[in-house]
Amino acid sequence: QITLKESGPTLVKPTQTLTLTCTFSGFSLSTSGVGVGWIRQPPGKALEWLALIYWDDDKRYSPSLKSRLTITKDTSKNQVVLTMTNMDPVDTATYYCAHRREYQLRAFDYWGQGTLVTVSS
Amino acid sequence: QSALTQPPSVSGSPGQSVTISCTGTSSDVGSYNRVSWYQQPPGTAPKLMIYEVSNRPSGVPDRFSGSKSGNTASLTISGLQAEDEADYYCSSYTSSSAWVFGGGTKLTVL
């Protein structure tokens, strides 16, 4: 059974750096084809894809946010970490992590419950 | 990368069919079959309903179907049920080696 869970601060101040951790179980990020991505959703708005890391450490970023994002993995801990610098109130959103398989399905097939991050002074 | 274009809302009565469109460009929907659809009831995480344009994951009712023509993908829900009321999002791989989501469509079952 695949599960993912996001964790991190619920409140950050403008200009600070946000660090979110996705802790997962039921799969290994060392398995060929597997990836974990981050997607966010501002209150009442649409989903926005942020970043993805693959089993082979290939990393992809949203072109519009690339300069602010860093995604890393710790395979031994079953964790993926996303950092976003220079946070702004417009970055207030629920942040989700999700599992992906590139050789099958090729979609985000399992999602975490999401964590709401508010950016405010 | 601009979001894919979806109608803000659609509606239908129980038993009817509705179709939600998702329009992109030749740099995303038009060039790749990595189009997927997600269902999101209020206050919950998205759920995968369709992958690779027209395939259903295990457990998704066959009332849900997907298709693509040119730069536009579509999700059709037949035999509408009250439980289908939710927001629906499309997503596509892009030529920038990234992914993009649609603006979302709110489905109301009358």
* Chain A: closest CA distance from residue B33 (Å): 10
pLDDT at B39: 98
* Chain A: closest CA distance from residue B107 (Å): 14
Inter-chain residue contact A46 with B103, CB threshold 8 Å: yes
Nearest CB among B47, B57, B101 relative to A49 is that of: B101
Inter-chain residue contact A46 with B52, CB threshold 8 Å: no
- The rounded mean pLDDT for chain B is 97
* Chain B: closest CA distance from residue A105 (Å): 6
Diameter of chain A by CA atoms?
44
> Cα(A113)–Cα(B2) distance, rounded to whole angstroms?
26
- The rounded mean pLDDT for chain A is 97
* Token pair for A59: 């990393």
pLDDT tier at B15 (50, 70, 90 boundaries)?
very high
Inter-chain residue contact A107 with B99, CB threshold 8 Å: no
Q: Where are the beta strands (DSSP E) in chain B?
A: 9-12, 18-23, 35-40, 47-50, 64-69, 72-77, 86-93, 99-101, 105-109
Instruction: Select the residue from A1, A45, A47, A113 to test the B interface by mutation, using most B Cβ atoms within 10 A.
Output: A47
Residue B1: pLDDT over 80: no
Inter-chain residue contact A109 with B96, CB threshold 8 Å: no
In this prediction, residues B64-69 reach a mean pLDDT of 98
Q: Show residues of chain B in contact with A45, CB under 8 Å.
A: 104
Residue A42: pLDDT over 80: yes
* 3 state SS of B110: coil
Picking from A20, A37, A35, the residue whose alpha carbon sits closest to that of residue A93 is A20
* Chain A: closest CA distance from residue B50 (Å): 9
Nearest CB among A49, A111, A113 relative to B99 is that of: A49
pLDDT tier at A104 (50, 70, 90 boundaries)?
confident
pLDDT at A105: 85
